[in-house]
Structure 1
């Protein structure tokens, strides 16, 4: 049997296992290990062993548990709630102000955690009930929560970009810096949409009543500002030290983790329950991603050995005669299609062994492509019928928000994400300027 049918058999076997509900790392790792043994006999066992050693020697992987710990510590200790109360008071007088404050909250939560699940949990439990109680349009605010939480996989420290960096063999520091401006651009476009929508129809985002604003003194506002600025200070101290060159990537993650721990301790919110919940959730997320990376490395090694990447390149460039940009657009469309059924890590692990080498051979920058992949994943998260964020929202939303409302809420925000994707594709320097500036010095 030639290489192409074997690669196709591996791919279809993996998809079949995933459709049965098996865990992503188990399905991918099993197919890779079984294929290696069948193709190369006993020598095939070296593939998973070599992948494990490569994973354990990858120093930047230490950032993963440290950043996840920082995010969960700030969340479990209630410091993230202080931040929302600050936005609530200071942005409330504007039409749509609480929705704008929610987007800003999500930006900061993203910068603290790097996971969309964390932003969704905080937004759905803290912001959504308050927005509904204030009379905000339920469809609009449901979309706000979902779109804001999707920022977690783009704005650094993004856990997904860590996974991409490991598989694509690209520096995580450059990937994180590349995600800064696209993430802020997307958040800014979300806010612009909310402002225009509430300007056209103010009833969709009513301002805080004047009598309620009068009850909040200037002293209360200052106290809320001081409490809410703590997570912002932690983030800027952590990233500032890294950008200025005083700390490495791993050292910056340690600064963030220790700062979050000290902040919870100083505010008197560090207790046994908070510490246990934070450590347990950090361990779960870290182990999950390490297993996925291990399975992806093994799967990629088998694909490389088969020469499947070269076969795919010959198909697109030789047989079909497609140009580089046409191939790139087809790749992004395939991500959106897969995102209807799979989460971002599964998508990356399935197609990374094929797409990433092909992107490099077409002459595209792999750091830039990492940002494109992540934005496309954000769109796929919110694409019906089976977008990941849609079902997360359904599980966390109050009863008055139906699945139909959730589906209707995402359309304008997906269009904003598509606009961001187009802008980053047409103007690559949106993503590449900051990493080139920092690493080019």
Structure 2
């Protein structure tokens, strides 16, 4: 077999092992080291030396020791160590544990229940008021944490029973929570965008600026659907009675907003604004956010030693997963490229004679399908780098490509049969809520994601306007 054929076999075996359920990070490292040993075995010179020794009657111990030393002194081990050091010293990735810690602290600070209650009262005269309140709460909470499972689970425990008690259609209510919980992937400060920046060498500051308008467009589409559906079909979202949402004085409502909505919104805007306006690096802003999250937890009297321990543990666990995925991916991709696999794929795609639009559609279709069995982190770290070398050939801006990928990854959590947000919600929903009901509820929101992606294709300035306005072309 030729080296490119071995590279393709390497990729195929990796996909097989992933579907068999092996841990992805360690599978990447094992495959990278295993095939890398072959790839970097001094162009297989040692095998030829071994055959020569067999044919030579008079062999010396020095010749054998030279061969044995070469057998164990393979460059793949140097590569693996260097890639590990590169990942651990990556300044962009330093922001990941800090943003994660901020999110886990906010999750445990009892902010979300206050926020949902306040927004529910403030929007009570709006069609689908409780759904609107749940969606906005999801958007803010998802933006603060960036952890889909945490947002969907917590909002499922908090908002879903309230909406069911208010006679909301179970499918409609489930779709709101599942869709709202995924917004943290796209809306800054997004951990996914940090990971993409580290994988593609695109400026994280420009990525955050580029993601703002698409994120707001998607939230606007979600709200339009919720309110429109409530107007057209009032039975799915009945107007709350005074017993369910009582009238309160305006002064008390303002006080509720000041004590629940304003602190979290201010924390998010302070972190995001300091990044976008160049007042702090993403790592420094994440540090501010983590400190702000601890401060809010103390103010709300929700900080305990047990919650701090849980937040630190979850932060370390998730960060370790992301970093080891990067180590495995870097090692795997280096060996894959050295064997010629990347060149084969590049030649194949270029030989299809696609237009830039067709290439983007093909890439997004592949990422959409990969979203069924894989998490967003695995797609960004492992498979997106395969497309990155092709962007220059098709004259596609990596910034634009990254925002499309972030939008597309919303679908990986919403598309049956592997819609993870639906499974998160099903795990804590009342027993009478069927998985098929949750699936049917997320489908209109999935359609909204496709509309937003189409708008990005038709009007790319939605992506480029803020980066060009703030930082130039």
TM range (shorter): over 0.9
Matches of 2:92 and 2:383, distance apart in 1: 23
Larger mean Cα displacement after TM superposition, 301-310 or 254-263: 301-310
Aligned to 1:16: 16
Which residue among 300, 303, 306 is the counterpart of 1:270? 303
- Cα displacement (A) at 1:258: 0.8
Q: Are 2:195 and 1:163 aligned?
A: yes
1:245 corresponds to 2:278: yes
Distance between the aligned counterparts of 2:5 and 2:24, measured in 1?
A: 23
Contact 1:111 1:235 in 2 (8 A): yes
Match of 1:321 in 2: 353
TM-superposed CA distance for 1:24, in Å, is 1.6
Matched, 1:351 2:376: no
What whole-Å deviation, never above 9, does each CA across 1:146-165 have from its counterpart, x for those lacking one? 11111111111212222221
Asked whether the equivalents of residues 328 and 359 of structure 1 are also in contact (C-alpha less than 8 Å), the reply is no
Quick one: distance in 2 between partners of 1:212 and 1:385?
35
1:215 Cα deviation after fit: 4.6
Which sits farther off after the overlay, 422-431 or 194-203?
422-431
Deviation at 1:58, TM superposition (A): 1.3
1: CA distance, partners of 2:192 / 2:429: 25
Tell me, in whole angstroms, the C-alpha distance in 2 between the residues paired with 1:33 and 1:130: 52
CA RMSD between the two structures: 1.7
Deviations 1:143-194 (A, max 9, x none): 1111111111111121222222111122222222221111111011000001
- Aligned with residue 70 of structure 1, among 74, 99, 102: 102
The answer as to 2:395 corresponding to 1:363 is yes
Rg larger for: 2
Residues 75-94 of structure 1 correspond to what in structure 2 (within 5 A)? 75-94=107-126
> Contact 2:218–2:452 (CA<8 Å) still a contact in 1?
yes
Matched, 1:300 2:316: no
Length-normalised TM-score, structure 1: 0.95
Is residue 284 of structure 1 aligned with residue 310 of structure 2? no
Find the counterpart in structure 2 of residue 342 from structure 1.
374
Distance 1:213 1:40 in 2: 68
Give the deviation of 1:396 after TM superposition.
2.4
Residue 388 of structure 1 pairs with residue 427 of structure 2: no
Q: Gapped runs of 5+ residues in structure 2?
A: 42-73
**What's the counterpart of residue 186 of structure 1?**
218
- Of residues 131-140 and 79-88 in structure 1, the stretch that sits farther from structure 2 once superposed is 79-88
Asked if structure 2 preserves the Cα contact closer than 8 Å seen for 1:110 and 1:156, the reply is: no
* 2:446 matched residue in structure 1: 414
Tell me if structure 1 keeps the 8 A contact 2:211–2:463: yes
More off after superposition, 204-213 vs 106-115: 204-213
Q: CA deviation at 1:414?
A: 0.7
Tell me the alpha carbon deviations over residues 23-55 of structure 1, each in whole angstroms, 9 at most, x when there is no partner: 121112211121111211301122222211211
* 1:212-231 matches, cutoff 5 A: 212-228=244-260, 229-231=262-264
Deviation of the 1:241 alpha carbon:
2.3
Instruction: Identify which range, 162-171 or 64-73, moves more after superposition.
Output: 162-171
Does the alignment pair 1:258 with 2:325?
Answer: no
Which residue of 2 is the match for residue 123 of structure 1? 155
- 1:109 and 1:12 map into 2 onto residues whose CA distance is 38
CA deviation after TM superposition for structure 1 residue 325, in Å: 1.8
Deviation at 1:5, TM superposition (A): 1.3
8 Å contact 2:195–2:381 — kept in the other structure? no
Partner Cα separation in structure 1 for residue 413 and residue 302 of structure 2: 34
Q: Would the alpha carbon gap of residues 231 and 53 (structure 1) be closer, same or farther in structure 2, given more than 3 Å must change?
A: same
| Structure 1 residue runs without a partner (length 5+) | none
Superposed displacement of residue 404, structure 1: 1.1
Contact 2:5 2:341 in 1 (8 A): no
Deviation at 1:86, TM superposition (A): 1.3
Contact 1:80 1:231 in 2 (8 A): no
TM-score where L is the length of structure 2: 0.89
Which range is displaced more, 22-31 or 147-156?
Answer: 22-31
Given that 2:39 and 2:338 are in contact with CA atoms closer than 8 Å, whether structure 1 keeps it comes out as no
What secondary structure is seen at the aligned counterpart in 2 of 1:60?
coil
Distance in 2, Cα, partners of 1:350 & 1:243? 28
Report if aligned partners of 2:108, 2:297 keep a CA contact under 8 Å in 1. no
